[in-house]
A and B are shown apart, each in its own frame.
Chain A
Amino acid sequence: AQRVTQPEKLLSVFKGAPVELKCNYSYSGSPELFWYVQYSRQRLQLLLRHISRESIKGFTADLNKGETSFHLKKPFAQEEDSAMYYCALVGGSNYKLTFGKGTLLTVNP
């Protein structure tokens, strides 16, 4: 079975502060991990995927297989980063994403 845990429902930081949204997963094989973001009144959209090893809007995420984590980080948060963030996993020959319950990030001015 595959499972994604986002331990923080809410996270509040000040503008310019570093931010880390935690994601832990459970899967026995080699998963693919993703972060999706939903801004207020907008559609859910892909932010980044671990296989791309990319940085999007200043966010990065590293897959740590030892700790089974895929935390999302940004060194200097901006107010426009305020949104709901979902971590998601797909494993093996599976075809569907399993999502965590999400973390609502609020960046205060």
Chain B
Amino acid sequence: GAGVSQSPSNKVTEKGKDVELRCDPISGHTALYWYRQSLGQGLEFLIYFQGNSAPDKSGLPSDRFSAERTGGSVSTLTIQRTQQEDSAVYLCASSPGARNYGYTFGSGTRLTVV
């Protein structure tokens, strides 16, 4: 596609529910990253994919968070049993390769847990 696409753009969910956030990277970009953007916290790294594998999951806050990537393309970030502290903007970025840092970011998914 022309850019990194994320859906939904906004999600309001009740505490305790599961949510899935989707990222469709630029076609041909092998590297994909998930970040979380919170007020006052900047951008927190969550997970990195190279192709379909995730060599670095170190940023996932807890075992309620998981992510997968299929076909070297679309990625899904899943948050189980959401908590209020999960409220944030979840950003996805892709780049042509692992050491190409000209990330292209999506517009993000704003998650609100009520």
Contacts and interface: CB of A to CB of B under 8 A. Distances in A.
B65 to A, nearest CB: 16
Interface in A13-32: 32
A32 B40 CA distance: 24
A99 B42 contact: yes
Interface residues of B, number: 22
Contacts of B67: none
Interface string A42-84: 0111100100000000000000000000000000000000000
A101 B101 contact: no
Interface in B39-72: 40-43, 45, 48, 50, 56
B87 interface: no
A34 B43 CA distance: 14
Interface of A: 6, 9, 32, 34, 43-46, 49, 86, 90, 95-102
